[in-house]
Structure formats: structure tokens, C-alpha cells
Amino acid sequence: MKLTTTLTALLALTVALPAQAEFKLGDRYTDADGDMIADIPADASEWIDPDTLIFAYTPVEDPAVYAEVWQGFLDHMSEVTGKRVQFFPVQSNAAQIEAMRAGRLHVAGFNTGSNPLAVACAGFRPFAMMAAADGSFGYEMEIITYPDSGVTQVEDLKGKQLAFTSETSNSGFKAPSAILKAEFGMVAGTDFEAVFSGAHDNSILGVANKDYIAASIANSVKARMLDRQVVSDDQLVTIYTSQTFPTTGYGTVYNLAPELQDKIREAFFSYEWEGTALAEEFGRNGEDQFIEITFKDEWSVIRTIDEANDVVYECN
């Protein structure tokens, strides 16, 4: 059984909640132009221009695999910017955000749900996202189980365990939390037990191996795992599919020298995908280019979900 939702339930839930503070950046950042991301400092003395750029992709179960996938692109970035570029494997969304906030991370791909927190608290300036040749992009949140688990619809999760990935993940926590409450009247801790796996691939493997009876995951990760034969289609059953959400957002930290930020953007949009490891891996989702995006527009739906979940961004 496969279901699809729209924003209707999420918007209804947002209205029903107490009014939330409008999304705003942490105190260390300014947004004079109203684009909802941190401005580049006006004072050139605050710019950084490192000899080595550090790049991190959103946390995955096996970072070594993705270090190889990204190497060709990082070589291209090095050529365009004239800088050494190093892949930095991160173990969690929180660690990735903290690395950028602390000045140890310069260029990154933050997962969908982490983007608002990275923008608000780490000075992240997203500008790109992967897309198909026709410009379409995104993924869906799925709630999956395994065959003969006894779970055939969302309501069957009452009294059972549901695996999330992390609290900063959109499809791994935020979206399903809002949807379960809005559409099914189900709340973690009351109607079902929530556990956290740490990553989408961990959750998918956990369901496939029957360690978790169900999990909420990004189907783009599932598609890549199926294509690599890490799991097989007969190990998984989808009981819920959401609307389409934006995928990983790529960008820079706010205080890189402006010319360097421009060159990094150039590296993303001038990269030739054909025949690359990046194309082989992300082509499994039908993605074969970087397109330009804005946090203000493409992440509007995610900010709505955060508001529905009463999310508050505290930047200490």
C-alpha cells in the first residue's frame, strides 16, 4: 500500500499551533538584503582565504565510499579556485554544523533538514542542488517496513517502534513527525516509540535486517542502496510516501572571501558530470547536474515543517 500526502495537513497543523517566531539568523550574522542567509562581511578584515578548502558531504554510513565519489569534483574545484580541496568525513549532522560554525569547514552539502539550522547558526550560504537533466529535483520521505512485519498501514505503528535518523533530518524526523501528528494523530512517546539510527542507510539496513520494524527514510538514499545491491527490493515495503522535498543543499560559509565564493560557485556550475563517479552514484536518483537555488524559495516548505514541529533554532 502506497500513500501520498500534500502540504494541506502540514499547513493546517501550523495554523493550529501557537504563533512561532519568524525564521532568523543567529546574532553573529546579518541579513541586510533580506535573502534569509548571512551576508558576506562588509569589512574585508573579516574575510578568510584558506590555502586548503575543506569540503564535507552530509553524513553517510561509509564516508570512505563518498570520498571517492566526490574526488573528481573536488579536483575540479581545486583547478577552478587554485586551492587544495580536502574531503572531510563527518559522523553526524551536528558535527558538520559545528565544524562550519567553528571555521573548520568551508564548503558543504547539508541535508534537507539541516539546512535551516546550518543557515541560522553556522553562516551557511546554500546556492546549489542536484537535479535531473530537465531541472526537476527532490526526493520523498517514505515510511518503510519489511514483508510480513504485521505493519501494512501507518496506523499499525501504534504501540510499536519507529526508527528515525536524527532530529535535524527532514525525512528522517521532521517531516514524519509533523505528518504523523497532523494526519494520523500519532505522537512519539505516546502512540509509538521513537529510536534513532543516526543515518538513512542505517535505518534502511535496520529494516531490511529486521532490527527495526519500521523507519522513516529518504527514498533517494534507498534508491542508491538498491542500485548498489546493498539491500534488495524484496526486503522492504513502503507504507507511506510524502510529497517531494528539496534534496541536499550545497554552499559555502559566509565569511569566505567574496572572490573565492564566486569561484566555488563557478566550480559547481561548470562541472562536467558525464562519465564521472559523481554521475554514477547520483545518477541512480536521476541526478546529473547542479542547479542554482535559494534558501528563501526552495526551503520554504522545510521551514513550514519546522514551524509545524515547533522548532526553535538556538545558536549558542
- Give the model confidence (pLDDT) of 14-24 as tens digits: 333 333 447 88
pLDDT for the residue numbered 262: 98
Length of the chain in terms of residues written: 316
Whole-angstrom distance, CA of residue 214 vs CA of residue 114: 23
pLDDT at 284: 87
Q: Is the pLDDT of residue 120 over 90?
A: yes
- Mean of pLDDT values over 73-78: 98
Q: What is the mean pLDDT of the chain?
A: 90
Q: Which of 23-27, 92-96, 132-136, 191-195 ranks highest by mean pLDDT?
A: 191-195
Dist CA 215 CA 197 (whole Å): 9
pLDDT in the model for residue 59? 85
Q: Residue 288 corresponds to which amino acid?
A: D
**How far apart, in whole angstroms, are the C-alpha atoms of residue 26 and residue 151?**
42
Number of Cβ within 10 Å of residue 49's Cβ equals 10
Distance CA 224, CA 283 (A): 9
Each residue's pLDDT tens digit, 284-311: 889 999 999 999 999 988 988 888 788 8
- Determine the pLDDT at residue 9: 39
Residue 168: which pLDDT band, with cuts at 50, 70 and 90?
Answer: confident
pLDDT tens-digit series, residues 224-249: 999 999 999 999 999 999 888 999 99
Q: Looking up cell 522535498, which residue turns up?
A: 245
The C-alpha atoms of residue 283 and residue 17 are separated, in whole angstroms, by 40
Percent of the chain with pLDDT over 90: 76
pLDDT surpasses 50 at 77: yes
Q: Per the structure block, which three cell numbers stand in for 37?
A: 542567509
Residues sharing a CB contact under 8 Å with residue 196, sequence separation 6 or more, in sequence order? 163, 164, 165, 166, 167, 173
Assign 267 a pLDDT band (cuts: 50, 70, 90). Answer: very high
165-183 average pLDDT score? 90
Can you read off the three cell numbers belonging to residue 138?
Answer: 527532490
User: What would the grid cell of residue 281 be?
Assistant: 552514484
C-alpha 271/C-alpha 88 separation (Å) is 20
Average confidence (pLDDT) over 118-147: 95
217's enclosing H/E stretch is strand 214-218
Answer positive or negative: Cα dihedral of 66, 72, 77, 78. positive
What pLDDT shows up at residue 316? 67
Structure confidence at residue 122 (pLDDT): 97
pLDDT reported for residue 65? 83
CA–CA gap between residue 39 and residue 124 (Å, rounded): 10
Query: Which domains, and CATH codes, for the chain?
Result: 17-135+248-308 (3.40.190.10), 139-245 (3.40.190.10)
Task: Identify the CA nearest to 312 among candidates 120, 97, 99.
Answer: 120
- AA identity, residue 120: A
Over residues 202-222, the pLDDT tens digits come to 999 999 999 999 999 999 999
Query: What gap in Å lies between CA 56 and CA 276, rounded to an integer?
Result: 19
H-helix or E-strand containing 53?
Answer: strand 52-57
Supply the DSSP symbol for 22.
P
Given a cut of 70, whether residue 4 has pLDDT beyond it is no
Residue 258: pLDDT over 60: yes
